Amino acid sequence: MNPAGFEPLIQAAREVLGHREISEDVSCGGVAAALLTDKGNIFRGVCIDTACSMGFCAEHAAVSAMLTAGESRVKAIVAVGGDQKVWSPCGRCRELLWQLGALDCQVLVNEDTVVSVRELLPYR
């Protein structure tokens, strides 16, 4: 998949992006993610930030939504930050994708670069 093919995913992530204060200890939405499954479905998620560090990344939320819906094969994924730009996944998200078996999943790491999870973790 080339970077232009990620536009529907970028748009889907931007639709749920938006920092929100939930309580004194929890905020969410500063980062949003969207993934495409092998069945052609798009799942989205936002990050959850907590005062005690028990939150999780937007990619984890999108994967959770996918798994909840009964799917498990990620074809492509993207994360978008509060600045509306594409962000590369953190190490924890990369590891989650690896453990899901999504080694050939295409990841947009910036506006013009697509790599596989395998390429993100060459020496796992």
CA dist 112 and 54 (Å) reads: 32
Element (H, E) at 54: none
Tokens at 34, concatenated = 């969207």
DSSP E strands in 11-66: the ranges are: 20-21, 26-37, 42-50
Long-range contacts of 40-43 (CB under 8 A, 24+ apart): 41/66, 41/69, 41/71, 42/8, 42/9, 42/12, 43/69, 43/71
- Annotated catalytic residue, options 15, 59, 111, 119: 59
Q: Is 59 a catalytic residue?
A: yes
CA dist 108 and 103 (Å) reads: 14
Report, as residue numbers or ranges, the catalytic residues: 59
